[in-house]
């Protein structure tokens, strides 16, 4: 199970963050919050498929100080490609996911909300992620 490693630049301390129980591991995508206290990451859920197009991911937050991870309800996406970005204010996180030439989705999570929600937008091909 792949871990996430965070190095605190103020202390030089390396923190290993293990995937939450019941998950397969972390996806390669992540983004630091504007205040630098939290990393938004995609966590692979379910079983590791033989075809990555069937992979399911959920948004999770890693607390940089404690190294703990919290999965955010209502943020599941299926697909090989996942992109994450914070709003400039740090009040929302967006996770886009899906497969090329197939349905793609954008999930929004407002900090403090009970769960994320799928945005009613049409998503084109992925070349990265930007949020406003």
pLDDT of residue 126: 62
109-123 pLDDT, tens digit each: 999 999 999 998 877
40-98 pLDDT, tens digit each: 999 988 665 565 566 788 999 999 888 899 999 999 888 877 889 999 999 999 998 88
**What is the end-to-end Cα distance of the chain in Å, rounded?**
33
Q: Which helix (H) or strand (E) holds 104?
A: strand 104-110
List the beta bridge partners of residue 121: none
Provide mean pLDDT across the span 27-38: 88
Report whether 24 contacts 35 (CB < 8 A).
no
> Distance of alpha carbon 97 from its chain centroid, rounded?
10
Please check the confidence at residue 1 and state whether its pLDDT lies above 60. no
Q: How many CB atoms lie within 10 A of CB 1?
A: 10
Confidence band of 31 (pLDDT split at 50, 70, 90):
very high
80 vs 16, which has greater pLDDT? 16
Sorted by where each begins, the domain ranges of the chain are 4-118
pLDDT of residue 130: 55
Confidence (pTM): 0.84
Q: CA 27, CA 2: separation in Å to the nearest integer? A: 9
Query: 4-118: CATH homologous superfamily?
Result: TolB, C-terminal domain (2.120.10.30)
Q: Which of 6-15, 21-30, 41-50, 52-61 has the lowest mean pLDDT?
A: 41-50
pLDDT of residue 60: 94
Residue 77's alpha-carbon distances to 40, 45, 51, 56, 88, in angstroms, are: 15, 10, 15, 6, 23
């Amino acid at each position: 199970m792949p871990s996430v490693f965070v190095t605190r630049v103020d202390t030089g301390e390396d923190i290993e963050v293990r995937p939450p129980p019941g998950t397969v591991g972390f996806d390669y995508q992540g983004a630091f919050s504007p205040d630098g206290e939290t990393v938004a990451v995609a966590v692979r859920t379910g079983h590791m498929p033989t075809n990555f197009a069937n992979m399911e991911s959920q948004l999770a937050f890693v607390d940089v100080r404690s190294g703990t991870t919290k999965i955010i309800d209502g943020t599941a996406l299926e697909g090989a490609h996942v992109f994450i970005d914070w709003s400039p204010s740090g009040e929302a996180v967006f996770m886009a996911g899906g497969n090329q030439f197939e349905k793609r989705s954008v999930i929004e999570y407002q900090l403090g909300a009970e769960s994320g929600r799928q945005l009613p937008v049409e998503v084109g091909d992925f070349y990265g992620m930007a949020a406003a």
